[in-house]
């Protein structure tokens, strides 16, 4: 449903980008018509990752690059398909109790792990226990289930604390990795990290740290006819310019996370097509009303609106993202459940900003502290500089004379302790197709990173977090979207586009807004 | 000689201990890596549980003693990011870095000494101008800039070399050139001035009048007279290349130690930063020791003066 | 390295009037084309730094995002309003390059000042007092030499934050061991020359010996070293920017400009080219100047060049 719209956006956008180079477009269309997927896995697909994955065990995979490798090896009980629907994966069906806290899963029979052992109910329990280990970075995902019990070999019952609308969609689809219980008992968490054994379409051959992660097709994969490539290799290449070079020379098939400007240059290159898709990550300048912002002018709603009017975000997007980013209207993005398309982004109107500031009692502006992280996000330092310039234009000056830039590790430390200045820049992504985690994380009363909270917002967050019905929840999101627009806890900046360059031989590759890769259906034209 | 050797070895061991202490406390001063590792959405209790599980909440001195005791057992602690013994990670990466640094240095030495001697023996010639240019540009062009240009020209446009990684035997060429360029500049200058310096000495004139080729004269006498200086410069360059490969390895995605250090630094992976810093220091100290011994062998006077 | 000779050249030089001295420097410069070029460029760079607000056509911090990424004047779409084009935030490249001179020279000058002072004092004490003091000081110096400087940089940047002062401090501290080593070496050489001993036996006080005999002989080698180290620091600053650890992004340093421009290398090449050229020219200047100073101030070399 909701995500489906986004996939269409992707295709539209793709055409638009490619249209600027006619030849590329024609060649590509011909190929799609001619090429058919092979019956057996063939060829090698080489994909770049922009960081060195820390772990390919899901509960520890620190960021998208790592989890994208993990996605090929592990599976959850459910899966979210390309149309954004929750569909069966390792669980064939499920029932949810009246009060929404008890889930009974019927497991798929005949599923094998990479080591040949069959997948049964006790493996689900082991996966839950392994995931809860406090040394896991994402241990809290496993803790979302209070209890997991074996009913019989192919039936499992799970209990949650309260109704959890994202339990099937996120927690069980991508946050848990199903591991074999016997193997876990034998080798422990360390062994799982080192030699992962899952049920996914690909199994690990070797992981040469810093060089490659090589996977091969799992011949006994339960989903008949998949995967389509015999080998799948991930190559870590942190430098953008090198990823661009490597896709041009044909050394890799998919170059991820490219800067907008440089991606344009690839439009004229033979054998390479450029795709662009909006990513579900909101960039913003946050206000603080919990610690450092108490008693400052930003507590006034008019001031916060003025800030939103004061910044020419279109110019920022043009200058720094070559025009390829969407103006943000709030924490709920176009692909999210409950997005209200009628809300227009704040226009650039410095006069209106000054008026609002005057109305709030600050005709000459005021001084306030602002901080931004460095080395965290593409071009974000420059975005902050630009924001600073626009705020100066309406009379806002910064404590210490300028924006404080801090190394990201130190920055997030301070952010988690609510010790940043009253204005600070950051971003928040979600992979759920809805904004709950982002809202709870940045605004929830008990969240580490939250700097802003009001009773009204908290009430909405609580209600969203316990409303299982999608339509009802969607309505709540829409209302909240409007409220957070009128009385903004953030200066909403932009949602960037992701650019990737892909070898034209690669077929059936469908990128998702969350940058999640599921590569089992991808094949290579003409692979032997 | 044995006495001298023994003293130098003991000194080096103390040096290593000093490095260990300084690095440990410096790295610890940067704070706690929990925020970098635990998900933003995680509740406060999980952050605490994580800190506990990783031992970040223990007193510093306890953490240090633990670290020191570990090293004596050959245990450098586990990388926080990779959940793997730091030593294992380093040993995996070490060969690639040594290989790159060695090739870079050999390339630099061969090219620099050839150009330096030929150029120095024929001042004002085209080769001499090339040598002088190399000497200057080697120290004025940032190596990461050179690396990007090399990729554009030789990988993308000409297609002669791979753009990244260490897949084939020629993969090393571009990173080695980028890495060794600065050293090449230094060595050219050194060789050239050494040749110039002895050019007009009587024995060289004699040799030349006997019809021995310029290059042979240059090579023989440079090595005899400037070998001490060369040994020391080469050792300095080598340790510089080992520690300084961080930019080049990152750009070429070369699976070495520099690359690993960049990540470890980025993610504040304490045990890994410590272990890498320790290893690089270890090699620098070992190289210095070897150089000093080589010095003492070449020129016995040095032993007594230090 | 071999037999030490007391320096006389500098003392003679000291005794002349300033007009004669100036004329002497002029003659020395005339003799060396490279030195002349270095000297002229150096003066130009210093003047640019001092008069930056007068020379620069625009405010280097004034943003105009609607006029971002404009090419240099001579390319299609460029204008003489911004002769070297604009950067990603529409700031004037020429003005930023001009103001960048200030940042680079500040980093280089004060970095070397701190490193030189620290290094000279510790080297003097170590070399002059000798014995255990020497051992202790050189121990610390060697520890600092052995630790990859990047570890210091990361730690200082993380604890103290990114600003100009901290970058200067980092360079000052991490570079001081080199000065200490050179100073100590020179002091030992001078002491062994017998020249100091005769002063001691003639009843000169420690202060007199230091100021009259040792310091004047140190100035030559140290100034030469300082010149090369300044060039190195301008280089390091660019390297730190590559890792995002140098001065804050808002400061128009050449390193920061190069770092931002790097990702537009093939599409808006001027953004990275100008700071790259500026770094190269400045490094070249200091190298030429350093070469010349070494020739002039180090009589051992001067003799051999005749």
Q: Give the residue with greater pLDDT, C160 vs B178.
A: B178
- Interatomic CA distance for residues A405 and C162, integer angstroms: 7
Question: Is residue B152 within 8 Å of residue C266, measured between CB atoms?
Answer: yes
CB pairs under 8 A between B and C: 105
Selection from A528, A525, A519 nearest residue A73 by Cα? A519
pLDDT of residue A433: 84
Share of chain C above pLDDT 90, in %: 24
Contact A407 C248 (CB under 8 A): no
In a domain, C108, yes or no: yes
Residue C171 lies inside a defined structural domain of this protein: yes
Cβ distance B251 to A251 less than 8 Å, yes or no, reads no
A501 in contact with C at a CB cutoff of 8 Å?
Answer: no
Q: Which two tokens stand for residue B156?
A: 């993308």
pLDDT at A242 over 80: yes
- Which residues, 6+ apart, have CB-to-CB distance to C290 below 8 Å? C38, C224, C227, C228, C231
Test C287 with B265 for CB contact under 8 angstroms: no
| Least CB–CB distance from C231: residue in B26, B139, B228 | B139
Considering just the CA atoms, what is the radius of gyration of chain C in Å?
23
Q: E strands within A132-289?
A: 145-152, 155-160, 202-208, 212-217, 231-236, 254-258, 272-278, 281-287
Per-chain mean pLDDT for chain A: 87
| C196 located within any domain | yes
C85 chain-A contacts, CB cut-off 8 A: none
Both structure tokens of A403: 């924006």
For the segment C77-104, what is each residue's pLDDT rounded down to a tens digit?
Answer: 888 888 999 999 999 999 999 999 999 9
Residues in chain A: 528
| Domain covering A281-495 assigned CATH 3.10.105.10 in the classification | yes
Q: What is the pLDDT of residue A13?
A: 37
pLDDT band at C7 (very low <50, low <70, confident <90, very high): very low
Percent helix, strand, coil in chain A (nearest 5)? 35, 25, 40
10 Å Cβ neighbour count for A193? Answer: 18
pLDDT score recorded for residue A27: 35
SS3 label, residue A254: strand
Q: Write out pLDDT tens, residues A64-105.
A: 888 899 999 999 999 988 887 889 999 999 999 988 899 999
What 3-state DSSP class applies to B6? helix
- Predicted confidence (pLDDT) per residue in B150-196, tens digit: 998 999 889 999 999 988 889 999 999 999 998 888 888 888 877 77
Which residues in chain A (300-329) have CB-CB distances under 8 A to chain C?
312, 315-316, 318-320
Protein fold of A2-48+201-278+498-524: D-Maltodextrin-Binding Protein; domain 2 (3.40.190)
Interface of B with C in 212-241 (CB under 8 A): 228-229
CA A478 to chain centroid, in Å, comes to: 21
Min distance B297 CA to chain A CA atoms (Å): 40
B35/A415 touch (CB, cutoff 8 Å), yes or no: yes
Q: Are strands A254-258 and A423-429 parallel, antiparallel or unpaired?
A: unpaired
CA B168 to chain centre: 23
- Asked whether the predicted pLDDT for residue B305 surpasses 60, the reply is no
Cα distance between residue A257 and residue C47, in whole Å: 43
The CA–CA distances, whole Å, from B48 to A32, A420, B34, B125 equal 52, 20, 9, 70
Determine whether the interchain pair B251/A248 forms a contact, defined as Cβ–Cβ distance below 8 Å: no
Tell me the average pLDDT across A271-275: 89
pLDDT category at C298 given cuts 50, 70, 90 is low
Cα angle value A306/A310/A311 (rounded, 5°): 135
Distance CA C173, CA B72 (A): 30
Location of structure tokens 């290059």: B215
- Asked if C136 has any chain B CB less than 8 Å from its own CB, the reply is no
**What residue ranges do the domains of chain A occupy?**
2-48+201-278+498-524, 75-194, 281-495
- Report the 3 state secondary structure along A397-414: EEHHHCCEEEEHHHHHHH
Average pLDDT of the residues in C236-259: 84
pLDDT for the residue B190: 80
Helix H or strand E segment including C53: helix C52-55
Whether residue A242 and residue B93 make contact (CB cut-off 8 A), yes or no, is: no
Does residue C142 have a pLDDT over 70?
Answer: yes
**Local confidence band at C220 (pLDDT 50, 70, 90 cut-offs):** confident
- Could you name the CATH architecture of A75-194? Alpha-Beta Complex (3.90)
Enter the DSSP assignment of A198: -
Q: CA–CA separation, A81 vs C156, rounded Å?
A: 47
pLDDT at B259 over 70: yes
Q: Which CATH superfamily is domain B92-304 in?
A: MetI-like (1.10.3720.10)
Which residues is A496 bridged to in the sheet?
A: A325
Beta bridge partners of A202: A217
What average pLDDT does the structure give for chain B? 80
Q: Determine, for residues C245 and A410 on separate chains, whether the beta-carbon distance falls below 8 Å.
A: no
Model's pTM, two decimal places?
0.83
Write down the number of H helices and E strands in chain B: 14, 2
Interhelix angle for B257-266 vs B270-298, to 10°?
Answer: 140
What pLDDT was estimated at residue B227? 65
- Please judge whether B265 and C154 are an interchain contact, meaning their C-beta atoms are less than 8 angstroms apart: yes
Tell me, what DSSP letter sits at residue A435? S
Confidence of residue A421 (pLDDT cuts 50, 70, 90): very high
CA distance B29 to chain C (A): 7
Q: Is the pLDDT assigned to residue C285 strictly greater than 80?
A: yes
> If you search the block for the tokens 């289930």, which residue do you land on?
A145
How many CB atoms within 10 Å of residue B153? 13
CA of residue A353 relative to chain centroid, distance: 33
For chain A, percent of residues with pLDDT exceeding 90 = 59
- Cα–Cα distance for residue pair B201/B232, rounded to 1 Å: 24
The minimum CA-CA distance between B171 and chain A, rounded to whole Å, is 12
Burial of C2 (0-12, 13-18, 19+ CB in 10 A): exposed
C199 burial (CB, 10 Å; 0-12 / 13-18 / 19+) is middle
* Ramachandran angles phi, psi of A380, nearest 5°: -70, -30
Per-residue pLDDT at B113: 85
Has residue A8 got a pLDDT over 50? no
Q: What pLDDT does A12 receive?
A: 36
Q: What are chain C's partners, defined as 3 or more CB pairs within 8 angstroms?
A: A, B
Best to test chain A binding among B28, B32, B45, B46 (most A CBs inside 10 Å): B46
Instruction: Determine the pLDDT at residue C4.
Output: 42
Does the structure show a pLDDT above 50 at A177? yes
Contacts of C89 in chain A (CB under 8 A): 319-320, 382, 385-386, 389
Token code pair at residue A364? 């000459």
Average pLDDT over residues C205-226: 82
Q: What is the mean pLDDT of residues A497-515?
A: 87
User: How far does A247 lie from chain C, in Å, by closest CA?
Assistant: 15
Total domain count, chain C: 1
CATH number of the structural domain spanning residue C97: 1.10.3720.10
**What are B207-224's pLDDT values in tens digits?**
767 776 766 766 666 666
* Confidence (pLDDT) at A247: 94
Domain boundaries, chain B: 2-73, 92-304
pLDDT band at A380 (very low <50, low <70, confident <90, very high): very high
Residue B210: how many other CB atoms lie within 10 Å: 8
Cis check for the bond before B139: say yes or no (omega within 30 of 0). Answer: no
Mean pLDDT of C224-250: 83
Name every residue whose Cβ is closer than 8 Å to that of residue B120 and which is 6 or more positions away in sequence: B128, B131, B191, B192, B193, B194, B195, B196, B199, B218
Q: Which structural domain, as residue segments, surrounds residue C185?
A: 90-299
The Cα–Cα gap between C292 and C295 comes to: 5
């Amino acid at each position: 449903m909701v995500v489906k719209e986004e996939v269409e956006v992707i295709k539209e956008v793709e055409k638009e980008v490619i249209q600027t180079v006619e030849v590329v477009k024609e060649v590509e269309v011909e190929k799609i018509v001619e090429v058919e997927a092979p019956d057996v896995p063939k060829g090698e697909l080489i994909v770049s990752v922009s960081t060195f994955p820390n772990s390919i065990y899901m509960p520890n995979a620190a960021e998208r690059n790592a989890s994208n490798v993990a996605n090929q090896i592990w599976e959850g009980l459910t899966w979210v398909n390309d149309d954004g629907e929750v569909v069966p994966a390792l669980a064939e069906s499920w029932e949810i109790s009246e009060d929404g806290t008890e889930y009974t899963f019927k497991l798929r029979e005949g599923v094998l792990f990479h080591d040949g052992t069959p997948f049964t109910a006790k493996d689900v329990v082991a996966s839950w226990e392994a995931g809860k280990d406090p040394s896991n970075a994402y241990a809290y995902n496993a803790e979302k289930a209070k209890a997991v019990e074996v009913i019989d070999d192919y039936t499992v019952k799970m209990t949650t604390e309260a109704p959890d609308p994202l339990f099937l969609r996120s927690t069980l689809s991508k946050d848990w990795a199903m591991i074999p219980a016997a193997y876990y008992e034998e080798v422990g968490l360390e062994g799982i990290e080192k030699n992962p054994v899952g049920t996914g379409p690909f199994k690990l051959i070797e992981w040469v740290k810093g060089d490659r992660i090589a996977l091969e097709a799992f011949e006994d994969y339960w989903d008949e006819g998949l995967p389509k490539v015999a080998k799948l290799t991930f190559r870590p290449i942190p430098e953008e310019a090198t990823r661009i070079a490597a896709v041009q020379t044909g050394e890799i098939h998919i170059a991820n996370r490219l800067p907008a400007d440089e991606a344009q240059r690839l439009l004229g290159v033979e054998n390479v097509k450029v795709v662009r898709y909006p990513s579900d990550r909101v960039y913003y300048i946050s206000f603080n009303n919990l610690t450092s912002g108490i008693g400052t002018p930003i507590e006034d709603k008019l001031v916060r609106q003025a800030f939103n009017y004061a910044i020419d975000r279109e110019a920022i997007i043009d200058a720094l993202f070559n025009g390829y980013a969407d103006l943000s209207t709030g924490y709920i993005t176009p692909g999210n459940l409950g997005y209200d398309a009628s809300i227009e982004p704040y226009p650039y109107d410095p006069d209106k900003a000054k008026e609002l500031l005057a109305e709030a009692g600050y005709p000459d502006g005021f001084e306030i502290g602002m901080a931004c992280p460095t080395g965290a996000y593409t071009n974000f330092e420059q975005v902050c500089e630009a924001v600073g310039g626009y705020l100066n234009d309406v009379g806002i000056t910064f404590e210490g004379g300028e924006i404080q830039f801090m190394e990201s590790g130190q920055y997030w430390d301070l952010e988690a302790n609510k010790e940043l200045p009253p204005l600070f820049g950051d971003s928040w992504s979600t992979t759920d197709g809805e904004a709950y985690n982002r809202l709870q994380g940045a605004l929830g009363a008990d969240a580490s990173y939250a700097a802003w909270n009001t009773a009204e917002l908290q009430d909405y967050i609580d209600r969203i977090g316990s409303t299982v019905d999608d339509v009802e929840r969607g309505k709540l999101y829409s209302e909240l979207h409007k409220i957070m627009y009128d009385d903004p806890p953030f200066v909403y900046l932009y949602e960037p586009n992701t650019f990737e360059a892909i070898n034209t031989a690669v077929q059936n590759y469908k990128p998702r807004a969350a940058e999640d890769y599921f590569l089992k259906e991808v094949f290579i034209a003409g692979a032997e | 000689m044995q006495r001298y050797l023994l003293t130098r070895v003991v000194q080096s061991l103390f040096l290593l201990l000093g490095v260990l202490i300084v690095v440990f406390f410096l790295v610890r001063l940067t704070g706690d890596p929990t925020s970098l590792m635990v998900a933003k959405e995680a509740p406060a209790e999980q952050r605490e549980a994580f800190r506990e599980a990783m031992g970040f909440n223990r007193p510093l001195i306890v953490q240090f003693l633990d670290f020191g005791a570990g090293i004596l057992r050959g245990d450098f602690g586990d990388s926080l990011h990779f959940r793997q013994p730091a030593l294992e990670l380093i040993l995996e990466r070490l060969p690639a870095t040594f290989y790159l640094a060695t090739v870079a240095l050999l390339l630099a030495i061969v090219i620099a000494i050839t150009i330096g001697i030929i150029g120095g023996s024929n001042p004002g010639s085209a080769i001499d101008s090339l040598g002088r240019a190399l000497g200057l540009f080697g120290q004025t062009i940032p190596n990461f800039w050179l690396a990007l240009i090399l990729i554009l020209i030789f990988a993308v446009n000409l297609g002669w070399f791979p753009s990244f990684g260490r897949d084939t035997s020629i993969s090393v060429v571009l990173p080695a050139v980028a890495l060794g360029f600065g050293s090449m500049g230094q060595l050219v200058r050194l060789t050239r001035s050494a040749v110039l310096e002895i050019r007009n000495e009587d024995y060289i004139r004699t040799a030349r009048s006997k019809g021995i080729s310029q290059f042979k004269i240059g090579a023989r006498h440079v090595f005899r007279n400037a070998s001490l200086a060369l040994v020391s410069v080469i050792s300095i360059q080598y340790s510089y290349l080992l520690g300084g490969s961080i930019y080049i390895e990152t750009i070429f995605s070369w699976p070495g130690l520099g690359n690993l250090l960049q990540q470890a630094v980025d993610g504040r992976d304490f045990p890994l930063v410590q272990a890498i810093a320790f290893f690089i220091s270890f090699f620098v100290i070992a190289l210095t020791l070897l150089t000093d011994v080589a010095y003492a062998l070449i020129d016995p006077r040095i032993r007594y003066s230090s | 390295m071999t037999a030490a000779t007391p320096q006389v050249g500098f003392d003679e030089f000291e005794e002349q009037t300033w007009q004669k001295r100036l004329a002497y420097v002029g003659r020395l410069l005339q003799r060396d084309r490279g030195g002349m070029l270095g000297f002229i460029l150096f003066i130009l760079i210093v003047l640019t730094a001092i008069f930056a607000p007068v020379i620069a056509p625009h405010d280097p911090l004034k943003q105009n995002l609607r006029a971002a990424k404009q090419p240099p004047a001579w390319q299609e779409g460029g204008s003489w309003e911004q002769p070297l084009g604009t950067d990603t935030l529409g700031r004037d490249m020429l003005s930023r390059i001009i103001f960048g001179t200030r940042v680079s020279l500040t980093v280089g000058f004060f970095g070397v000042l701190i490193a030189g002072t620290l290094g000279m004092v510790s080297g003097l004490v170590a070399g002059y007092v000798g014995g255990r003091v020497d051992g202790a000081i050189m121990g610390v110096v060697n520890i600092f030499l052995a630790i990859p400087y990047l570890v210091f940089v990361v730690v200082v940047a993380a604890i103290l934050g990114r600003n100009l002062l901290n970058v200067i401090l980092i360079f000052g501290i991490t570079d001081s061991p080199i000065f200490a080593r050179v100073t100590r070496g020179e002091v030992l050489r001078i002491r062994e020359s017998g020249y100091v001993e005769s002063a001691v036996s003639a009843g000169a006080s420690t202060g007199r010996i230091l100021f009259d005999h040792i310091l004047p002989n140190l100035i030559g080698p140290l100034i030469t070293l300082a010149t090369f180290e300044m060039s190195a620091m301008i280089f390091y600053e660019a390297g730190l920017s590559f890792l995002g650890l140098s001065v804050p992004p808002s400061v128009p340093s050449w390193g920061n400009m190069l770092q931002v421009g790097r990702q537009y290398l093939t599409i808006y090449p001027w953004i990275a080219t100008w700071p790259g050229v500026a770094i190269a020219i400045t490094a070249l200047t200091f190298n030429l100047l350093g070469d010349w100073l070494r020739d002039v101030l180090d009589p051992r070399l001067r003799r051999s060049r005749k």
